[in-house]
Chains A and B, each alone.
Chain A
Amino acid sequence: DVKVTQSSRYLVKRTGEKVFLECVQDMDHENMFWYRQDPGLGLRLIYFSYDVKMKEKGDIPEGYSVSREKKERFSLILESASTNQTSMYLCASSFDRTLYNSPLHFGNGTRLTVT
């Protein structure tokens, strides 16, 4: 089974702090994604990556950046955390962009609270 591991289940940070959310997948997947999930809004794509050192903006990239230095690891960075970034963050991976039917495999999520 594919395993996507997010380093923290819960995080509490202060406004203005720099926050790192880490995600690791163990199945040699090409694609990795960061979503945020908010009640009534479903999942919204923040950033994604189809290859090492490659990144593309999703639907709501403002206030975030990402890093993919190794194929298995995809980090989400909040440069200066704000209260409106309080949310559940979900990391996902999938096998190959050319396989359009390749399903997403999700981690268990990180619930971030910014005070």
Chain B
Amino acid sequence: AQSVTQPDIHITVSEGASLELRCNYSYGATPYLFWYVQSPGQGLQLLLKYFSGDTLVQGIKGFEAEFKRSQSSFNLRKPSVHWSDAAEYFCAVAWRGQNFVFGPGTRLSVLP
């Protein structure tokens, strides 16, 4: 069965530091890839998506993600974290004809 892993359950960074959240997926076919963010008590908001083409994609709020086919990874990055970025982040993968599969999420805490 297809699966999505996010190895880090909880990450803490200082405000202004860089951030990388990891996401790996199983299964051979190239999927469609998404990152969502969830603020406390809220639904999920789409940050960015990758379908094809340039493997570095830009999203909202200054986030970017890079697709690496050889590593089956789609890591999320931000060069300088803001306190308002504290939230939970979910990687999601969709294969053709299949429903979305979500990772377990990574909770980000930001130190002042």
Contact = CB atoms under 8 A, between A and B. Distances in A.
Interface in B30-68: 32, 34, 36, 41-46, 49, 51
Interface residues of A, number: 22
B96 to A, nearest CB: 5
Contact of A108 (B36, B42, B96): B42
A106 B99 contact: no
Interface stretch (B14-22, B74-82, B102-110): B102-110
B25 interface: no
Contacts of A33: 99
B91 to A, nearest CB: 10
Contact of A106 (B32, B45, B49, B104): B45
A84 interface: no
Interface string A48-82: 10000000001000000000000000000000000
Given A4-B43, A103-B46, A42 B97 contact: no
Given A4-B43, A48-B99, A100-B97, 13 more contacts: A9-B41, A33-B99, A40-B9, A42-B102, A90-B43, A100-B95, A101-B49, A103-B49, A104-B34, A106-B36, A108-B41, A109-B41, A109-B43
Interface of B: 9, 32, 34, 36, 41-46, 49, 51, 90, 92, 94-97, 99-100, 102-105
Interface of A: 4, 9, 33, 40-43, 45, 48, 58, 90, 92, 100-101, 103-109, 111
30 contacts: A9-B41, A33-B99, A40-B9, A40-B104, A41-B104, A42-B90, A42-B103, A42-B104, A43-B44, A45-B99, A45-B100, A90-B44, A92-B44, A100-B96, A100-B97, A101-B32, A101-B49, A101-B51, A101-B94, A103-B34, A103-B46, A103-B49, A104-B92, A104-B100, A106-B44, A106-B45, A107-B43, A108-B42, A109-B42, A109-B43
